């Protein structure tokens, strides 16, 4: 039949189904295909909190949102244009994220009485039949039935056949968006190469889905989304946790020290451990400790031994590491502490995102315990930011906290990755000679106020360090009141000095002076960027600066802020950076706060800009 | 732990291991003797001084590294075991010694303690057991006897103590020994054995805290009672003890019984100590009755209860790195960064 072909500049698809329906795989396959085609994109998976929530229920729904386009894409998108609902629960859980008039692709088999009941629809109600979805474009197909008939002669059991259902949907979407299926075909061939019957089944169902689009009359419109104009270069797709792992390996290579990771599994940080465990041939040693305390302590031991030491966790685990962070700070040993933030407090919302551990990072220790804090703003930015964290730790002999969060950890975006030789070397000089008339002073400081690093095995430099207050230079235990105050100030001065060695804060968008500055940190980057671009198009005088170095701040930040009439700080917490900025710069900054376990929608920020500048 | 040879360095002496720091334990504290024995034994081990690392937690005992002219770290309460694990994992070439107290190892650090033993890092763990919290001025500890009256338990402690050696055996420890501060010869011997063992060598050292728990181990350490109340086990030798070496232990099934050698029992009938026998080590570790008045109870054993060679964590950890390199070649950063699928925008 005759089909429409419409060119559009961006589209947001949400794949939703039961956690057993393979929606994450479907989403990532579509993403890869879009990326290879040259679209800009951003993704966000939305996992259920329970691994095996009861099938067919709302807690069991797993989602994957993809935003891709021929224009620059900054976020996975606020509301989706297309919702793929494999069952009734998936529809019910996601209707509120679908744009008015959006498209629903529903698997009719997932709307049988049992599924409707499990999704808590009223008796007799069936949204795909009863007209309640009026105003939306509804495309229905019995995915289960068509998958089964495509594979009726495959000889596979019904369970295995049903497992290929997601390929039908994927094939259909490939048809709908005019996509080449070869990347997915290649992926399937690699994945199931050893199981030819399963491979054939998946390929066959994928093509059936595509052909269904071609022949059926349900969905008459196809869409073309052209490649996006992106800076020239070679790209790959990358998720935040992956980028973090790679940034660590890159730093390890660039400083010439093997990496030691001490970690204890916790969502959403675990994938960094998984990822690093694969790269032992880079000299990476991963150690799954008995708890977070042992994880950080093992890293401290490795750091004492002269390795690039790292520990990864999320809020509850970071809380357990607190005492040892203080030890690392007293020892003045390099250590990278990674917090992939999630909703808190306590166990909170493990699979949801939040930025509520900023206070914990900056203030959360006993005593005067300054530790540098830096945060990544996007999935790909995790690479550069964690690399910077390693540099600071090694060059300043200090623990450094790197903040990421669930949103960018699991989200993905195209990444114009660097060449290894474009990355800066990180200088590490182990001390091998006495530094004071035949004596070794472990706490003698250099121009950065950093101390020497003499590792065990270095002849003649035997020395003891510890958590008790130590005398200036000698490092011997000291209870002298003057010395204690001196050392407290010295440790603070050393961390403050880092500001001399980090880039000045730059503006991401807008003029240097004006009516409104939006100041952000971490994963709010995408939504703020999108909103500021929109607002500027509409003629609003608004600028955007995004802070990587949260403690200490870049030296020019105060000056920058003073050039604006108003400062707005959007955060996924109740106002943590806000209160730090107000405290530090005595500026009447305004907060825009959201603690729903969900990232900001661009629209939410745009509305606030309009409200402030009206 | 094994010995790391270094033929070219001049021989260390005890004096080389003394630091310029004033030793701050209470006069008469058992810690002094332990320090002395360690400083005496270590030079015999032919380990270059720069390869020695002493790591401690917090407690009186944990002040130890400050007095050893080696690399050292006085860390945080209970975590020396965890820190030492990371250090040994990262640097298998070092000779790592952990110094800890009964509170440090068995209370706050209990978790790391059992996991260290299970993983069997090749380190030495010396636990100074004074059955009290010394540094915090005398609260009962997880090894204090039931009913212990201290400042935190004026009516007596309610909880039942750990049997540290039984705990260590349960945690799959590969070397388990007990000694005491007041028997320098035996203690030195245990330190040598601990060093020689490849794997985690756990030595519980009875240590007198003469300020907060004076005399707890007196019955085992004083000349007048030592011979009747203790038994020093040696591999391949029968379990004989007593004032005139006139008593022995025989196994009746799984039950140890005391026999009088002057009653016609011969040493041939006795339990012969076998360090490799886990079941017997378990029984031996259960010789743990509080010495009651009168006789009839089993003596408290000292010596190496159990030794067994099994693989060490750091060996596996580092082998996997080597295997991965052998299999995949040394990591190529460019290949890692580009991953499997890339596209070019011109
Ligand atoms: C996190 C923490 N909790 C509590 C303390 C206080 N504290 C220091 S040492 C100690 C107990 C020490 O007992 P033990 O390990 O038996 O060592 P000893 O002093 O008897 O040698 C306690 C409770 C501490 N330093 N750190
Ligand atoms: S308090 Fe006890 S254990 Fe601590 S130094 Fe004094 S005597 Fe030794
Ligand atoms: Mg004690």
Express each pLDDT in A153-200 by its tens digit: 999 999 999 999 999 999 999 999 999 999 999 999 999 999 999 999
Report the mean per-residue pLDDT for chain B: 95
Give φ, ψ of B301 to 5 degrees: -80, 150
- CA dist., res. B85 & res. A360, Å (int): 27
Q: Please indicate, yes or no, whether residues A186 and A71 belong to a single structural domain of this protein.
A: yes
What is the band of A557 on the pLDDT scale with cuts at 50, 70, 90? very high
Position of tokens 């200090």? A398
Interface test with A, best of B71, B96, B98 (most A CBs within 10 A): B71
Mean pLDDT of A44-60: 84
For residue B220, is pLDDT > 70?
yes
CB A374 within 8 A of CB A385: yes
Domain boundary among A203, A224, A245: A224
| Residues contacting residue A2 through CB under 8 Å, at least 6 positions apart | none
Write A104-107 long-range contacts (CB < 8 A, 24+): A104/A128, A104/A133, A104/A136, A104/A137, A104/A138, A104/A139, A105/A139, A105/A140, A105/A141, A105/A169, A105/A172, A105/A173, A106/A138, A106/A139, A106/A140, A106/A141, A107/A17, A107/A140, A107/A141, A107/A142, A107/A143, A107/A144, A107/A165, A107/A169
Average pLDDT in the A53-74 region?
A: 94
Distance CA B252, CA B257 (A): 7
Q: What distance in angstroms lies between residue B205's CA and the mean position of ligand 2's atoms?
A: 14
Could you tell me if A296 and A388 lie in one domain?
yes
Q: Tokens in use for A287? A: 């150690």
Residue B2, pLDDT > 70, answer no
Q: Does residue A25 share a domain with residue A99?
A: yes
Q: CA A588 to CA A568: how far, in whole Å?
A: 9
The whole-number average pLDDT for the span A243-271 is 98
Q: Which two tokens stand for residue B75?
A: 């860390």
Would the CA dihedral through A603, A604, A607, A609 be positive or negative? negative
pLDDT value for B291: 75
* CA-to-CA dists, residue A177 to A78, A208, A549, B300, angstroms: 20, 16, 41, 80
Q: What pLDDT sits at residue A228?
A: 93
Give dist(CA B108, CA B114) in Å, integer.
Answer: 12
Query: Is B61:B128 a contact under the CB 8 Å cutoff?
Result: yes
List CB contacts of B332: < 8 A, sequence separation 6 or more: none
Give the whole-angstrom CA distance, residue B346 versus residue B342. 13
Check whether the bond before A94 is cis (ω within 30° of 0). no
- Do A199 and A262 share a structural domain? no
When mean pLDDT is compared across A5-14, A210-219, B181-190, the lowest value belongs to: A210-219
Q: How far is CA A266 from CA A240, A373, A389, A557, B232, in A?
A: 16, 21, 21, 34, 48
**What is the predicted pLDDT for the residue at B9?**
60
- Could you tell me the two tokens for A285? 């040693």
According to the model, what pLDDT value does residue B138 have? 97
Best of A275, A322, A462 to substitute, by most chain B Cβ atoms within 10 angstroms, is A462
Looking at residue B296, what is its pLDDT?
76
CATH topology of domain B14-217: Rossmann fold (3.40.50)
- Average pLDDT score, chain A: 95
Subunit contact B337:A419, Cβ cutoff 8 A: yes
Q: What is the DSSP string of A75-140?
A: SS-SSEEEEEESSHHHHHHHGGGEEEEEEEEEEGGGGSHHHHHHTTPPTT--TTTSSTTTTSEEEE
Question: Which residues are within 8 A (CB) of B24 and not within 5 positions of it... i.e. 6 or more apart?
Answer: B63
Bridge-partner residues for A235, per DSSP? B343
Closest CA to A204 of A139, A155, A154, A160: A154
Judge if A207 and A72 occupy the same domain. Answer: yes
Give per-residue pLDDT as tens, B19-48.
999 999 999 999 999 999 999 999 999 999
Mutation test residue for ligand 2: of B210, B213, B216, the one with most atoms within 8 Å of CB: B210
Residues of A in contact with B325 (CB under 8 A): 280-281, 283
Q: Quick check: B86 and A456 CB within 8 A?
A: no
- Tens-place pLDDT, residues A499-517: 999 999 999 999 999 999 9
Structurally, chain A folds into a number of domains equal to: 3
Question: Which residue is closest to A247 within chain B, CA to CA?
Answer: B337
Q: Which ligand is nearest to the CA of B24?
A: 2
What pLDDT, on a 0 to 100 scale, did the predictor assign at position A1?
A: 44
A47 and A178 both lie in a single domain:
yes
**pLDDT of amino acid B1:** 55
CA-based Rg of chain B, rounded to a whole angstrom? Answer: 23
Contacts of A578 (CB under 8 A, 6+ apart): A569, A571, A589, A590, A591, A593
Is residue B341 predicted with pLDDT exceeding 90? no
Residue B289 CA, distance from chain mean position = 21
Contact of A270 with A317, CB cutoff 8 Å: no
The answer on pLDDT for A223 being more than 70 is: yes
Residues of chain A with pLDDT > 90, as a percent, come to 94
Q: Say whether both A148 and A247 belong to one domain.
A: no
**Residue A237 backbone dihedrals phi, psi, to 5 degrees:** -95, 145
Question: Tell me: the pLDDT tens digits for A373-401?
Answer: 999 999 999 999 999 999 999 999 999 99
Quick: pLDDT tens for A561-607.
999 999 999 999 999 999 999 999 999 999 999 999 999 999 999 99
pLDDT(A333) > 50: yes
Q: Are A165 and A202 in contact (CB under 8 A)?
A: no
- Say yes or no: A216 and A265 in one domain: no
- Ligand 2 center–CA B214 separation, angstroms: 10
pLDDT computed for residue B292 by the predictor? 64
Verify that A212 and A324 share a domain, yes or no: no
Which ligand has the nearest atom to the CA of B137?
Answer: 2
Question: Is A448 domain-assigned?
Answer: no
- A269-290 pLDDT, tens digit each: 999 999 999 999 999 999 999 9
CA distance A170 to A34: 13
A210 and A131 within one domain: yes
**Considering only CA atoms, which residue is closest to atom 8 of ligand 2?**
B29
Distance of alpha carbon B172 from alpha carbon B254, whole angstroms: 21
Q: Which of A108, A98, A89 is nearest to A11 (CA)?
A: A98
* Overall pTM > 0.90: yes
Q: What is the mean pLDDT of residues A302-322?
A: 98
pLDDT in tens, A87-116: 999 999 999 999 999 999 999 999 999 999
Q: What is the DSSP string of A43-86?
A: EEEE--SSTTPPTTSGGGEEEEEEEEESS---SS-SSEEEEEES
The pLDDT of residue B295: 63
A–B: how many Cβ contacts below 8 A? 213
| Residues A250, A218 share a domain | no
* Residue A389 falls inside a structural domain: yes
Same domain, A220 and A243: no
**pLDDT surpasses 60 at A453:** yes
How do residues B77-118 score in pLDDT, each as one tens digit? Answer: 999 999 999 999 999 999 999 999 999 999 999 999 999 999
- Among A422, A456, A471, where does a domain finish? A422
* Residue A180, number of CB atoms within 10 A of its CB: 11
Residues B228, B247: Cα–Cα separation, whole Å = 9
B165-to-A559, B140, B141 alpha-carbon distances in Å? 64, 19, 16
pLDDT digit string, tens, across residues B263-279:
888 888 999 999 999 99
Domain boundaries, given as residue ranges, for chain B = 14-217
pLDDT band at A53 (very low <50, low <70, confident <90, very high): confident
Sign of torsion, CA B284 B290 B296 B301? Answer: positive
pLDDT bin (cut points 50, 70, 90) of residue B293 is low
Structure-token match 């022995």, residue found: B248
pLDDT at B202 over 60: yes
Higher pLDDT, A221 or B57: B57
Closest by Cβ to A457, choosing from B74, B93, B344: B93
pLDDT score for A446: 96
* Alpha-carbon span A276 to A271, nearest angstrom: 8
Compute CA B209 distance to the chain's CA centroid, rounded to the nearest angstrom. Answer: 18
Q: Which ligand 1 atom is at minimum distance from the Cα of B58?
A: 9
Domain that includes residue A557, residue range: 507-613
Give the three-class secondary structure for A576: helix
CA angle in degrees (0–180, nearest 5) for A265-B168-B3: 90
Distance CA A7, CA A178 (A): 11
Contact (CB, 8 A) for A334 and A371: no
Contact B89 A304 (CB under 8 A): no
Of A396, A422, A448, the residue at which a domain comes to its end is: A422
- φ and ψ at A372, to 5 degrees? -60, 145
Note whether A49 and A62 are within 8 A (CB).
no
């Amino acid at each position: 039949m005759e089909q429409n072909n419409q060119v559009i500049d961006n589209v947001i698809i949400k794949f939703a189904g039961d956690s057993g329906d393979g929606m994450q795989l479907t989403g990532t396959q579509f993403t890869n295909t879009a990326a290879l085609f040259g679209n800009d994109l951003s993704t966000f998976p939305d996992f259920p909190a329970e691994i095996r929530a009861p099938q067919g229920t709302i807690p069991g729904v797993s989602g994957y949102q993809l935003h891709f386009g021929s224009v620059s894409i900054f976020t996975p998108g606020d509301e989706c244009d297309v919702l793929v609902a494999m069952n009734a629960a998936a529809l019910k859980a996601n209707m509120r994220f679908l744009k008015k008039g959006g498209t629903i692709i529903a698997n009719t088999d997932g709307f049988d009485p049992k599924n409707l009941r499990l999704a808590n629809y009223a008796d007799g109600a069936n949204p795909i039949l009863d007209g309640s979805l009026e105003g939306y474009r509804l495309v229905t197909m019995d995915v289960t039935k068509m998958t089964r008939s495509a594979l009726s002669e495959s000889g596979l059991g019904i369970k295995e056949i049903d497992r290929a259902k997601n390929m039908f949907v994927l094939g259909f979407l490939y048809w709908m968006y005019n996509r080449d299926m070869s990347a997915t075909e290649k992926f399937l061939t690699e994945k199931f190469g050893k199981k030819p019957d399963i491979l054939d089944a998946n390929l066959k169902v994928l093509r059936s889905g595509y052909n269904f689009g071609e022949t059926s009359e349900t969905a008459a419109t196809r869409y073309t989304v052209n490649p996006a104009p992106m800076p020239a270069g070679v790209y790959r797709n990358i998720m935040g946790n992956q980028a973090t792992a790679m940034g660590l390996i890159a730093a390890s290579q660039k400083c010439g020290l093997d990496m030691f990771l001490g970690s204890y599994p916790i969502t959403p940080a675990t994938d960094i451990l998984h990822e690093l465990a694969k790269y032992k041939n880079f000299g990476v040693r991963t150690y799954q400790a008995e708890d977070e305390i042992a994880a950080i302590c093992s890293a401290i031991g490795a750091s004492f031994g002269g390795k690039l030491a790292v520990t990864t966790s999320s809020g509850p685990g970071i809380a357990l590491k607190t005492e040892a962070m203080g030890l690392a700070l007293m020892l003045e040993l390099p250590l990278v502490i990674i917090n992939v933030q999630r909703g808190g407090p306590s166990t909170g919302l493990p699979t949801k995102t939040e930025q509520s551990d900023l206070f914990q990072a900056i203030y959360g220790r006993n005593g005067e315990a300054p530790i540098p804090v830096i945060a990544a703003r996007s999935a790909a930015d995790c690479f550069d930011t964690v690399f910077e964290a390693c540099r600071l730790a090694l060059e300043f002999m200090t623990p450094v906290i790197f903040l990421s969060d669930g949103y960018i950890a699991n989200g993905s975006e195209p990444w114009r990755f660097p060449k290894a030789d474009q990355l800066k070397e990180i200088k590490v000089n182990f001390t091998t000679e006495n530094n004071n008339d035949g004596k070794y002073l472990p706490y003698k400081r250099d121009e950065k106020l950093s101390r020497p690093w003499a590792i065990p095995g270095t002849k003649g430099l035997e020395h003891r360090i510890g958590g008790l207050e130590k005398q200036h230079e000698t490092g011997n235990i000291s209870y002298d009141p003057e010395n204690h105050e001196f050392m407290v100030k010295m440790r603070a001065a050393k961390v403050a000095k880092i500001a001399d060695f980090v880039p000045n804060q730059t503006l991401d968008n807008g003029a240097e002076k004006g009516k409104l500055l939006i100041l952000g940190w971490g994963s709010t980057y995408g939504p703020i960027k999108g909103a500021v671009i929109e607002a500027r198009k509409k003629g609003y005088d608004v600028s955007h600066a995004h802070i990587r170095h949260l403690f200490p701040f870049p030296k020019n930040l105060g000056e920058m802020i003073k050039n604006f009439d108003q400062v707005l700080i959007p955060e996924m917490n109740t106002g943590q950076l806000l209160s730090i900025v107000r405290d530090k710069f005595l500026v009447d900054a305004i907060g825009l706060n959201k603690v729903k376990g969900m990232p900001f929608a661009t629209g939410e920020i745009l509305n606030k800009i309009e409200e402030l500048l009206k | 732990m094994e010995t790391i040879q270094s033929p070219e360095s001049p021989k260390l002496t005890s004096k080389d291991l003394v630091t310029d720091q004033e030793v701050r334990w209470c006069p008469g504290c058992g810690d002094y003797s332990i320090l002395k024995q360690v400083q005496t034994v270590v030079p015999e081990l032919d380990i270059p001084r720069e390869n020695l690392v002493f790591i401690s937690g917090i407690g009186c005992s944990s002040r130890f590294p400050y007095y050893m002219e080696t690399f050292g770290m006085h860390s945080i309460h209970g975590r020396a075991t965890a820190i030492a694990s990371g250090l040994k994992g990262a640097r298998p070439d070092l000779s790592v010694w952990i110094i800890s107290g009964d509170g440090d190892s068995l209370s706050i650090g209990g978790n790391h303690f059992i996991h260290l033993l299970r993983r069997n890092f090749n380190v030495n763990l010396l636990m100074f057991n004074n059955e009290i919290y010394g540094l915090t001025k005398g609260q009962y500890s997880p090894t204090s006897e039931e009913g212990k009256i201290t400042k935190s338990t004026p009516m007596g402690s309610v909880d039942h103590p750990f049997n540290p050696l039984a705990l260590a055996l349960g945690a799959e420890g590969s070397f388990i020994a007990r000694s005491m501060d007041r028997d320098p010869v035996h203690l030195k011997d245990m330190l040598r054995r601990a060093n020689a063992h490849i794997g985690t060598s756990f030595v519980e050292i009875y240590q007198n805290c003469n300020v907060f728990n004076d005399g707890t181990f007196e019955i085992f350490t004083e000349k007048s009672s030592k011979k009747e109340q203790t038994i020093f086990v040696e591999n391949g030798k029968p379990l004989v003890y007593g004032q005139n070496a006139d008593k022995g232990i025989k196994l009746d099934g799984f039950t140890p019984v005391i026999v009088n050698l002057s009653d016609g029992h011969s040493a041939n009938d006795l339990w012969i100590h076998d360090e490799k026998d886990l079941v017997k080590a378990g029984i031996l570790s259960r010789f743990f009755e509080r010495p009651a008045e009168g006789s009839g109870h089993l003596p408290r054993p000292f010596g190496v209860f159990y030794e067994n060679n099994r693989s060490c964590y750091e060996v596996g950890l580092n082998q996997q790195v080597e295997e991965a390199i052998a299999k995949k070649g040394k990591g190529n950063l460019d290949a890692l960064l580009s991953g499997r699928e890339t596209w070019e925008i011109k």
